[in-house]
Homo-oligomer: A and B are copies of this chain.
Amino acid sequence: MISNKTIGRLSLYRRLLKDVINDNQRNIYSHELAGLAGATAAQVRRDIMNIGYSGNPNRGYDARELATSIGNFLDHPDGQRAALLGVGNLGRALLAFFSGRRPKLSIDAAFDIDPKKFGRVIHGCHCYSTEDLATVIPEKNISIGIITVPANEAQKACDNLVRIGIHGILNFAPVPLKIPSNVYVEDIDMTMSLEKVAYFARTATSGGK
């Protein structure tokens, strides 16, 4: 079983490898990738070991092969699609941010309760009424939910997603969601992050992490 932390770093390595490949660099050593990622060489080697890819003691890793191996590991062969719930300031920013970024992972529908938004296309994404959730999500074969509704509506949004059979949720609302154990939630708690920065900025010389 592969850990949450390793998955996160693999995602980062792949992104860094794309730049390396674009610069026409063929091979990369664990310590080079570690330098780019802010990790240690041993960490990089172990992460790569975990997905079963092997380098060469002389030339390090083949950048292109490694990126492909990570892709095979992280991506679903048919791709995966996400729905965004809550087309406010943050929701729209995310639609812009993720638009066309990864072919195997796209936001394919947005939902809101405000009728003025129904039918609009925002950064290439069609906006539906929340009432259509149960029909649009299976129809578009969506397997991931992104919650950007206000805090007081987040649990309801989550419950709706879970009821339809969504197993993965990215939650931007600053409240812990109650979910059954077969659903994975990743929280992005910006308030918490900012308060951490404030704390460690004070305690000065290199606080935690």
Q: Which A residues contact B (CB, under 8 angstroms)?
A: 2-5, 7-8, 11-12, 15, 36-38, 74-76, 80, 82, 88-90, 92-94, 96-98, 101-102, 105, 143-144, 146, 166-170, 174, 176, 178, 181-186, 188-202, 204-209
A55 vs chain B, min Cβ distance (A): 21
Q: List 16 A-B contacts (CB under 8 A).
A: A4-B208, A5-B208, A12-B176, A12-B192, A15-B191, A38-B178, A80-B202, A89-B96, A90-B93, A146-B194, A166-B201, A181-B205, A182-B206, A184-B197, A184-B207, A188-B188
Contacts of A209 in B (CB 8 A): 4, 184
Determine which of B5, B11, B169, B193 lies in contact with A195 in the assembled complex, contact meaning CB atoms within 8 Å: B11
A8 contacts B196, C-beta separation under 8 Å:
yes
Contacts of A3 in B (CB 8 A): 208
Determine which of B37, B168, B189 lies in contact with A198 in the assembled complex, contact meaning CB atoms within 8 Å: B168
Which single residue of chain B is at the shortest CB-CB distance from A14? B195
Which single residue of chain B is at the shortest CB-CB distance from A183? B206
Copies of this protein chain in the complex: 2
**A191-B4 contact given A89-B92, A209-B184, CB 8 Å threshold:** no
A11 vs chain B, min Cβ distance (A): 4
User: What 10 A-B pairs come out closest when comparing CB atoms?
Assistant: A168-B201, A4-B208, A184-B200, A93-B93, A89-B93, A38-B176, A168-B197, A11-B195, A90-B93, A167-B201
A144 contacts B192, C-beta separation under 8 Å:
no
